Structure 1
Amino acid sequence: MLSTSARLLRLASLLQSRRHWPGGALAEALGVDARTVRRDVDRLRELGYPVEASSGLGGGYALGRGAALPPLVLDDEEAVALAIALRTAGDHVGGIEATTLHLLAKLDQLLPTRLRRRASALHAVTLSLRTGPPLVHADLLNALATACRDGRHLRFRYRKHAGDTGTRQVEPLRLANYGRRWYLVAWDSDRADWRSFRVDRIEGRPVPGEACAPREVPHDVAQRLERGIAYTPFACRVTLRVEGSLESLSTKIPLWCGILEAETDTHCLLRVGADSVENLLAQVLMIGEPVTLVDGGEFGAPIQAALSRMQAMFGAADPAGSALAGGRKRRPAG
């Protein structure tokens, strides 16, 4: 059986792990009877933990919100996960760099040697390559998250993909993380449709407005977001048919190549977008699978021209007749 002090730490950890604990479940988890649980709860209250108790059907214990933050109890895996997360958080979100360093210093003082070595192993052997400064600030993320949670209208200045800036009025729904980038999914009041907004293109601080009525969320909101990130914003767009199932092609074609959708059990559609014909051509070539053009034939001539320039750059004898350009080889003269 655990000692009283060890049992109190275990009880604090359990109460912090979920919103409500039935008394019987706590007693079973601690290996004690209900009377001992009640005594231990009283001890935690004396230590500053605001433990609330309820009786009757569905009664039990819950950790309430007090005037001060009570000591946080972590198990081994939680402590290691927290340390690793803190070491990487400052690289992706601005405004928390100093805070994460202070938290790591506190955590390092508390961790036993065996856990400190585990927590620092990944950081110690990882090379930090240049990725640029953080793309978003924690204060902006918090403001957007609060508006999503409280269901309040937002107004903000937004810089579009092409560079022009305007004011947007939205009903925020969710934040989405895609690599180093953050996106806001919201109902655009002026366009009467769902839109996604890159958070790093929001200028200044959003202005919250009145509460908005709940709106039915489309079932394909994730697909809309992916299309808004990888396809819709670009001037050059094509749709390709690729042989293979969605499951098999998903392991071969990188996410950044485009939007992959199942057409049949044996073929998929890949929607590719890029800022220029050259970038579009590069993405198509990097797919590494035979493809058939379904939509976007208007880019045929510019792509042929780009291929000719590429062949001339590499010293091809006959750019126009290359198999890559779709032509037939010329016969030797004579």
Structure 2
Amino acid sequence: MSDVTRRALRLLSLLQSRSVWTGPELAAELGVTTRTVRRDVDRLRELGYPVLTSNGHGGGYQLGAGRELPPLLLSEKEAVAVAVGLRLTAAAGIEGLDQEALRALAALERILPGALRAEVGAVSEAMGVVGRALPQVSSDVLLELATSVRDRVRVRLDYRRGDGERSQRRLEPHRVLAVDGHWYLYAWDLDREDWRTFRLDRMAEVHASTFGFTPRETGDVEQAVREAIAVSPYPKEVTVRVHLPVEQVSAMVPARAGTLTADGPDACLLRAGGNDLRGIALHLTWMDGRIEVIDPPELLEQFTWIARRAGEVAGDVDGADKGRRPDEPGSG
């Protein structure tokens, strides 16, 4: 490969990595003069690459959109990163993208140099994603909603609630989030005039409209989604104070298990939901740190029951140990 060809490929790689480059910036990266940069840009244009030029402040060279996808030039680390991302996408539970991701990974490996192909292959073979089976999300639904969020246009969709009831929803989509393997849409419900959280795997026939909207004021979206999936759906809700920093407690509380709010540097408030208070109390006893019940008071009764029951079991074990002869199995 000649120096001119190698430099042209390097120039193409630089143009792909950033939206706009000035002539002096490209010259410094390539170690040539700005005149040579202009000649190399002309060579790329002759090969069919739409390199655009803009003048004035903030202007420079940029790679425009063409009718065909130009070859993707990646460094070694970038190629490995893309391979890892494709492998994770294949296991992300997005219907229609899993096989496409695997095909893209295979195509990537075919065009890489031998040494780099071996490295990417080794990384891919070393990776595995183990987890519970998750509901499949249509890639068409995901892309339609993400595009509607970007374009700020209303959507209409058929939605099935957890109890099986179906309804038509007219929404102003605000954000699409992935939480613990599930995909959610946070949107303003036009008919209910309130913010709502929807699971993408329960959607069908998503249609973007041509009606735009002005984004509404909203607070912490991630906190609102956590509240909607971890507290609101359940008949029992609790609030406790955990006497540990919120950063430490967050490692023990998955997003689908509750919401956390800092309460000073050494404590935080945890809100959670469940089907019964005893089950919630049992889960809370697994956590580190002192727990203070705020609401409801009945939750404290469940902790008292758990403590009494644990004492009874411990007493039975102590009694059995005291009744053994020293030479019996299980004795000290």
1:43 maps to what in 2?
Answer: 43
**1:8–1:134 Cα change, 3 Å:** farther
Bigger drift between 84-93 and 54-63 goes to: 54-63
Task: Please give the alpha-carbon distance, in whole angstroms, between the structure 1 residues aligned to 2:13 and 2:178.
Answer: 29
Question: Per-residue displacement from partner, 1:123-171 (whole Å, max 9, x unpaired)?
Answer: 3234553532553121110111111112111122222344433222210
Is the Cα–Cα contact under 8 Å of residues 50 and 63 in structure 1 kept in the other structure?
yes
Bigger drift between 112-121 and 35-44 goes to: 112-121
Task: Please give the alpha-carbon distance, in whole angstroms, between the structure 2 residues aligned to 1:23 and 1:254.
Answer: 49
2:321 maps to what in 1?
Answer: none
Task: Please give the alpha-carbon distance, in whole angstroms, between the structure 2 residues aligned to 1:299 and 1:249.
Answer: 20
Task: Please give the alpha-carbon distance, in whole angstroms, between the structure 2 residues aligned to 1:315 and 1:164.
Answer: 47
Is the Cα–Cα contact under 8 Å of residues 237 and 273 in structure 1 kept in the other structure?
yes
Is the Cα–Cα contact under 8 Å of residues 84 and 120 in structure 1 kept in the other structure?
no
Bigger drift between 11-20 and 265-274 goes to: 265-274
Q: Percent same amino acid at aligned positions?
A: 39
Bigger drift between 208-217 and 144-153 goes to: 208-217
1:98 maps to what in 2?
Answer: 99
Question: Per-residue displacement from partner, 1:55-111 (whole Å, max 9, x unpaired)?
Answer: 344331111111111111111111111111112212211112332232222211122
1:270 maps to what in 2?
Answer: 270
Is the Cα–Cα contact under 8 Å of residues 246 and 260 in structure 1 kept in the other structure?
yes
In the TM superposition, residue 215 of structure 1 has moved relative to its aligned partner by: 2.2
2:171 maps to what in 1?
Answer: 170
In the TM superposition, residue 212 of structure 1 has moved relative to its aligned partner by: 2.9
In the TM superposition, residue 49 of structure 1 has moved relative to its aligned partner by: 0.9
Question: Helix, strand or coil for the counterpart of 2:233?
Answer: coil
In the TM superposition, residue 261 of structure 1 has moved relative to its aligned partner by: 0.7
1:156 maps to what in 2?
Answer: 157
**1:25–1:161 Cα change, 3 Å:** same
2:236 maps to what in 1?
Answer: 236
TM-score with structure 1 length normalisation? Answer: 0.84
2:147 is aligned with what amino acid? T
2:113 maps to what in 1?
Answer: 112
2:261 maps to what in 1?
Answer: 261
In the TM superposition, residue 260 of structure 1 has moved relative to its aligned partner by: 1.3
Task: Please give the alpha-carbon distance, in whole angstroms, between the structure 2 residues aligned to 1:272 and 1:189.
Answer: 28
Question: Per-residue displacement from partner, 1:211-235 (whole Å, max 9, x unpaired)?
Answer: 2321233232222122122222222
In the TM superposition, residue 255 of structure 1 has moved relative to its aligned partner by: 4.2
Question: Helix, strand or coil for the counterpart of 2:26?
Answer: helix
2:133 maps to what in 1?
Answer: 132
**1:91–1:30 Cα change, 3 Å:** same
Question: Per-residue displacement from partner, 1:288-325 (whole Å, max 9, x unpaired)?
Answer: 33211101235566x479859987x97987xxxxxxxx
Query: Any unmatched runs of 5+ in structure 1?
Result: 318-334
1:66 is aligned with what amino acid? G
1:67 is aligned with what amino acid? R
Task: Please give the alpha-carbon distance, in whole angstroms, between the structure 1 residues aligned to 2:114 and 2:77.
Answer: 14
1:10 aligns with 2:10: yes
Aligned residues: 314
Task: Please give the alpha-carbon distance, in whole angstroms, between the structure 2 residues aligned to 1:257 and 1:133.
Answer: 17
Bigger drift between 70-79 and 223-232 goes to: 223-232
Query: Any unmatched runs of 5+ in structure 2?
Result: 317-332
2:82 maps to what in 1?
Answer: 82
Question: Helix, strand or coil for the counterpart of 2:115?
Answer: helix
2:287 maps to what in 1?
Answer: 287
Bigger drift between 273-282 and 241-250 goes to: 273-282
1:185 is aligned with what amino acid? Y
Is the Cα–Cα contact under 8 Å of residues 50 and 64 in structure 1 kept in the other structure?
yes
Is the Cα–Cα contact under 8 Å of residues 229 and 256 in structure 2 kept in the other structure?
no
Task: Please give the alpha-carbon distance, in whole angstroms, between the structure 1 residues aligned to 2:62 and 2:227.
Answer: 43
Is the Cα–Cα contact under 8 Å of residues 172 and 187 in structure 1 kept in the other structure?
yes
Task: Please give the alpha-carbon distance, in whole angstroms, between the structure 2 residues aligned to 1:123 and 1:39.
Answer: 40
1:223 maps to what in 2?
Answer: 223
**1:289–1:165 Cα change, 3 Å:** farther
Question: Helix, strand or coil for the counterpart of 1:174?
Answer: strand
Task: Please give the alpha-carbon distance, in whole angstroms, between the structure 2 residues aligned to 1:121 and 1:217.
Answer: 48
In the TM superposition, residue 33 of structure 1 has moved relative to its aligned partner by: 0.9
**1:297–1:79 Cα change, 3 Å:** same
**1:310–1:97 Cα change, 3 Å:** farther
